[in-house]
Structure 1
Amino acid sequence: MLARFFSFASLLAIGLLSGCTDVVDVDLPDPEPQLAVEGNITDQPGPYTIRLTKTGPYFADQTPPAVRGAELVLTDNEGATETLREIEPGQYQTSQLRGKIGNRYVLTIRTEGQEYRANTEIKRVPEIDRFEQQYKRNETGWSDGYYVLYNGPELPGVGDYYRFKLYQNDTLRNDPDELVVTSDELVDGKYIGDVELTDRPFRVGDRVRVELLSLPRDYFFFLNEMFTQINNVGLFATPPANVRTNVLNTNPNGPKAVGYFAGTALRSASIVIQPE
Structure 2
Amino acid sequence: MLARFFSLAALVLTLGTLASCTDVVQVELPEPESQLAVEGNITDQPGPYEIRLTRTGAYFDDKTPLAVRGAELTISDSQGATEILRETAPGVYQTSSLRGRIGNQYTLTIKADGQEYRAATEIKRVPEIDRFEQQHKVNEPGWRDGYYVLYNGPELPGVGDYYRFKLYQNDTLRNNPDELIVRDDALVDGKYIGDVELSDRPFRIGDRARVEILSLPKDYFFFLNEMFTQINNVGMFSSPPANVRTNIVNVNPNGPKAVGYFAGTAVRSATVTITP
Instruction: Please give the residue correspondences for 1:4-19 in structure 2 after superposition, counting only pairs within 5 Å.
Output: none
Structure 2 residue matching 1:212: 3-state secondary structure? strand
Instruction: Please give the residue correspondences for 1:37-52 in structure 2 after superposition, counting only pairs within 5 Å.
Output: 37-52=38-53
Structure 1 residue 23, shift from structure 2 partner: 2.9
1:47-87 deviation per Cα after TM superposition (whole angstroms, max 9, x unaligned): 00000000000000110000000000100000000000000
Partner of 1:23: 24
Instruction: Please give the residue correspondences for 1:1-276 in structure 2 after superposition, counting only pairs within 5 Å.
Output: 20-275=21-276
1:218-273 deviation per Cα after TM superposition (whole angstroms, max 9, x unaligned): 00000010111111121112221110000000011100000000000000000100
Which amino acid is 1:215 matched to?
A: L
1:2-53 deviation per Cα after TM superposition (whole angstroms, max 9, x unaligned): xxxxxxxxxxxxxxx9x64433221101100000000000000000000000
Structure 1 residue matching 2:223: 3-state secondary structure? helix
**CA separation in 2, counterparts of 1:22 and 1:181?**
43
Structure 1 residue matching 2:168: 3-state secondary structure? strand
The 4+ residue runs of structure 1 with deviation greater than 3 A are: none
**CA separation in 2, counterparts of 1:140 and 1:55?**
44
**CA separation in 2, counterparts of 1:272 and 1:154?**
25
Which amino acid is 2:169 matched to?
A: Q
Partner of 2:14: none
What is the aligned residue count?
259
Structure 1 residue matching 2:142: 3-state secondary structure? coil
Which structure has the larger Rg over C-alpha atoms?
Answer: 2
* Structure 2 residue ranges without an equivalent (≥5): 1-10, 12-19
Which amino acid is 1:156 matched to?
A: P
**CA separation in 2, counterparts of 1:156 and 1:264?**
19
Partner of 1:5: none
Structure 1 residue matching 2:29: 3-state secondary structure? coil
**CA separation in 1, counterparts of 2:25 and 2:240?**
18
Structure 2 residue matching 1:23: 3-state secondary structure? strand
Identity of aligned residues (%): 79
**CA separation in 2, counterparts of 1:136 and 1:23?**
50
Larger RCO, structure (CA 8 Å, separation 6 or more): 1
**CA separation in 1, counterparts of 2:21 and 2:244?**
36
**CA separation in 1, counterparts of 2:99 and 2:209?**
27
**CA separation in 1, counterparts of 2:78 and 2:238?**
43
* Structure 1 residue ranges without an equivalent (≥5): 1-16
**CA separation in 1, counterparts of 2:137 and 2:21?**
45
**CA separation in 2, counterparts of 1:212 and 1:22?**
51
Root-mean-square deviation over aligned CA pairs: 1.2
Structure 2 residue matching 1:140: 3-state secondary structure? coil
Which amino acid is 1:245 matched to?
A: T
